[in-house]
Amino acid sequence: MEVAKIEYPTALDKIEDLTDDNIDIFVTLDDGYTYTLVVSTLKNVGTLMNEKRYSEPGCVQQLIIVEELSEELIKIAVEAYAEDEDGMFLKVSNLATGFEMKELDAALERRRLMHNGGEVE
C-alpha cells in the first residue's frame, strides 16, 4: 500500500520537546482509508516507562517509534509500515482498539482450534 496523505492534528511546531513526546497522526493510504496512529520517540517511551515502570495496556503495540518527531522521519517510518506486508501493521494497529471482547475471544478460539488440528467453523 502507498501513503497518500499524513495529517497532524497537533502541529509539530506546538510540541515543546520533539525528542520526548508522542502525537496522533491520520494516515490515508491509496485505498482511501484513513488510519489513526500514534508516533512516539524512543525517549518518550522511556519517560512513560519511568513514570509507571511498565507499558500501559494498549500503548506500545500501536506505536510507530522514531528518533525525533519530524515530518521527514514520520513519513519515512509510515511509508515503511505501509509497504510491509501490504500495510498489515497499520491495519492491525488501527483495529487493535476496535473489537468487542466477544469478537476477540471468538477469533482466539478459531486460532486455537486451527493450531490444535480442530475444525474451524
Q: Are 70 and 12 in contact (CB under 8 A)?
A: yes
Average pLDDT, the chain: 87
80 contacts 88 by C-beta, under 8 angstroms: no
Looking at the predicted structure, is the pLDDT value of residue 120 above 70?
Answer: no
- Helix (H) or strand (E) segment spanning residue 10: none
Spatial distance between the Cα atoms of 68 and 18, rounded to a whole number of angstroms: 6
The pTM score is 0.78
Residue 25 contacts residue 8 (beta carbons within 8 Å): yes
Model confidence pLDDT, tens digit, residues 103-115: 889 989 999 998 8
Instruction: Express each pLDDT in 58-99 by its tens digit.
Output: 565 678 999 999 999 999 999 999 998 888 888 887 777 777
